[in-house]
Structures are given as structure tokens and as C-alpha cells.
Structure 1
Amino acid sequence: MSILLVTSSPRGSASHSTRIATEFADKLVAADPSATLVVRDLVANPLPHIDPDYSTGIYTPVESRTPRQAEVVGVSDAVLEELLAADTIILATGFINFNISSTLKSWVDHVTRSGKSFVYGENGPKGLVTGKKVYIVLASGGIYSEGAAVQMDHAIPYLRSVLGFIGMTDIDVIRIEGVAMGPDTVEAALAKATAKVDAVVTATSERVATAA
């Protein structure tokens, strides 16, 4: 198993999404001795936002790119290669103004590339990033999975749409909800998220044991 962990919360060690996602990745590695893990920390190493050099550079032949174009396209190539090499992807983000973090949005922009992660054909666009399992770990101050606030959740619908567009449709969501609603709610949310993580890890351990 090849795992790609992408973290994006600006809250550092206080981030619930980073903590749960990191524990998840570590447990998966422990469950499968053959597993490999690549970590992409978008806070420690933020990706450049899309700019004119990127927008023109991706359509410019390699030998004709300016140094700046080569630099930004090279960054995009690197994160795209990480994605293509993984068969399990864990994306961690806080719920910021009803959507994902801007750092994770930059990652999405770099891996969503015509001719690389999707193509246009006679029947419309076709995703090329297939055969992946994706886990989204989302922490939010309020409750957005049910009730009146569901319509305010633009994070999960967006990620399902854009990841599906490039071919990743096998997506599970692990929510850590209500972390701004008091210590008891935080404890319950973390316990619920950990239980979901442990269920996946147990299934992985059983699968590895059976294969052995």
C-alpha cells in the first residue's frame, strides 16, 4: 500500500484534522509492513497559487519555458506524481469559511491538469487518476453533516466533485465536528473520528493477514 497524506490546517499542533489524519496514516503503516508513506505538509511547504507563469507554462514546450515557468510547472509535476504514485490518499483540512483551506485548494489546482489528470474526449471530460481510495478528514467548529447548516458545507461537495472529475470517486469522509462547542463535544467528536479510523485500520490488518 502506498499512502499519500496531505495536511493543510494552519493551526499546527492544535489542529484536530492534522492529528487524526496523521494518526490514521501511521496506523495504516503499522497495519501493513509493506506500506509506504509520503507526507505533503501544505503549511510547512505551501504550494504557489496559480499565476500567469503557471497558466502559460503548462502549455509551453519544456525547452521553451522561462526559468520561472519551469519552476512552477516543476512544482505541479512533483505533487501530481505523488498523487499518481499513491493508492490511498488522506486529505486533512479544517473547515474555513465554509470550505477547505486555501493551501489545500492550491494543491487541488496543481493536480487538476488537462492531459495529466483528466482529458477531454468525444464524450466529455474523463478522469485519469483512477483506482485510488480517498479519505477526507475534515474538522469544523460547528455541525455541518446534518441539520440546518448542511447547506453551508461547501467543502465536502466541492472535494467530491473535483476529485471525481479527475477520476477519484471512492471517497470516505471522517468528520470531527463541533470542536468549537465545548470540551465534551470535542472529546466526543475525536472519539467518533478515531473509531472510524480504527475500523478502517482493522479491516486493513485483516486483509493483510489474509493475503499473507
Structure 2
Amino acid sequence: MTKVLVVQSSALNETSNTRLLTAKLLARLGRDADITVTSRDLAQDQLPHITDQTLGAFFTPADQRSPEQTEIIALSDALVAELMDTDVVIIAAPMYNFGVPSTLKAYFDHIARAGVTFKYTETGPVGLVQGKQAYIVTATGGIHAGTPRDFVAPFVTTFLGFLGINAVKTFAAEGMSMPTMKEESLNQTISAIEQL
């Protein structure tokens, strides 16, 4: 059984292009293997932003944390455990104002844990989240891939690599706000998913 974690960040529901493409990707993955899916919808269940208290709890050794600190990072601990317990991660990341949705950035802040999901060594950082396949599903209103405005897939790829997830494939649908491009771009992206 292959465990798949889907992280949705689109504020849209029925009209979300990343949700549509994620559903296509899940259907494609399900044809090759028995999969079990855990969904984390950051639009429906928004995470709190990191605070001074959160960081204090992160950097306090587990056996020295106060009950309050343990409670503060319980959600982060659960998110990390969920990530560690999966085989495949799908990050659905539409572009909002040239970046990822703030809900997704908050998620990343909760799972980037020094000594837990990465560590620093004499030769630099080492990711501790190993042996996972990741897929990035993104949609943009304009055309950004390969330009200086391409801040979504490269950012998410870099972040995942920092955690140790280096097997990453991106499916990007661009021009979603351009009526003459939308249908063709979606069809091309769905075709790329089908060719996995």
C-alpha cells in the first residue's frame, strides 16, 4: 500500500485548477498501485503562523519543554509525523501574487524543524525526510515558467530538497486567466499526468 499525502492550498473549491489537476494525478497514481490518501486542506483548516513562543518550543530539547511548549508544538509534531509516515507527497500550489498561498507557507514553517526534518552539519544542511516522491501541482493566471517571475515551483522544489525530498516532478498549468490558453494548457497538463 502506497501512502499519499495531499496538501491543498487553493482558496477555491469547485473552480480550483490545482484541485482539478490533483484529482487527475491521484487517479493516475491509483492505476499503478494501491494507494491510501491523507488530505490536508489548508484553506479549510488553516494553520497558525509561527510565533516567538513556537520558535522557543522548537529550539527547546523535547525532554526540557514545559507543558505549555509541548502543547504549542503539538500541531507541528502531528504535521511532521504525517509527512514522515507517507511515501508520496503532492503539494498543490497555485500562484497568488507571484508566490505560494500564505497558508502553504505557514505549513512549510511548521514542518521545517531543525534536528527533526533537517539538520546542519560541517558541510551544510542535510534533509532528514528521505525516500519520498513528491509532485508539485501548480496553476498560474499568466505565463511565468522559466522567467524571473517563476516563484512557485522553484521555491517548493528548493524547500522540499532542503528537507531531503529530491525526487520531485512538477505539473504546471499556465495562462489560467487567459481565455485563449486555459483549455489547451489544462489539457496539456492532464496529458503530462497521464504519461507518468
Q: Note whether the superposition's TM-score is higher than 0.5.
A: yes
Partners of 1:52 and 1:30 in 2: CA distance? 45
Partners of 2:26 and 2:66 in 1: CA distance? 37
- Contact 2:7-2:42 at 8 Å conserved across structures: yes
Corresponding residue for 2:66? 65
Structure 1 residue runs without a partner (length 5+): 201-212
- Contact 1:18-1:93 at 8 Å conserved across structures: no
Structure 2 residue runs without a partner (length 5+): none
**How big is the shift at 1:166?**
1.2
Corresponding residue for 1:128? 128
- Contact 1:62-1:70 at 8 Å conserved across structures: no
Corresponding residue for 2:152? 155
Could you give the per-residue CA deviations for residues 107-145 of structure 1, whole angstroms, max 9, x where no partner exists? Answer: 111111101111112222111111111110010000111
Corresponding residue for 1:19? 20
RMSD: 1.6
Q: 1:170 aligns with which of 160, 167, 172?
A: 167
**How big is the shift at 1:157?**
1.9
* Identity %, equivalent residues: 32
Corresponding residue for 2:84? 84
Aligned residue for 1:29, secondary structure, equals helix
Corresponding residue for 1:196? 192
More helix by share: 1
Partners of 2:163 and 2:65 in 1: CA distance? 28
TM-score scaled to structure 2, two decimals? 0.92
Corresponding residue for 2:112? 112
- Contact 2:93-2:152 at 8 Å conserved across structures: no
Aligned residue for 1:5, secondary structure, equals strand
- Contact 1:29-1:37 at 8 Å conserved across structures: no
Aligned residue for 1:55, secondary structure, equals helix
Aligned residue for 2:37, secondary structure, equals strand
**How big is the shift at 1:30?**
4.3
**How big is the shift at 1:27?**
3.4
1:141-152 correspondence to structure 2 within 5 Å: 141-146=141-146, 150-152=147-149
Partners of 2:162 and 2:64 in 1: CA distance? 30
Corresponding residue for 1:208? none
- Contact 1:17-1:138 at 8 Å conserved across structures: yes
Counterparts in 2 of 1:126 and 1:57: CA distance versus 1, 3 Å:
same
**How big is the shift at 1:31?**
3.5
Q: 1:185 aligns with which of 146, 169, 181?
A: 181
TM-score scaled to structure 1, two decimals? 0.86
1:26-105 correspondence to structure 2 within 5 Å: 26-33=27-34, 35-60=35-60, 61=62, 64-67=65-68, 69-105=69-105
Count of residue correspondences: 194
Aligned residue for 1:160, secondary structure, equals helix
One-letter identity of the residue aligned with 1:127: G
Aligned residue for 1:189, secondary structure, equals helix
Counterparts in 2 of 1:71 and 1:192: CA distance versus 1, 3 Å:
farther
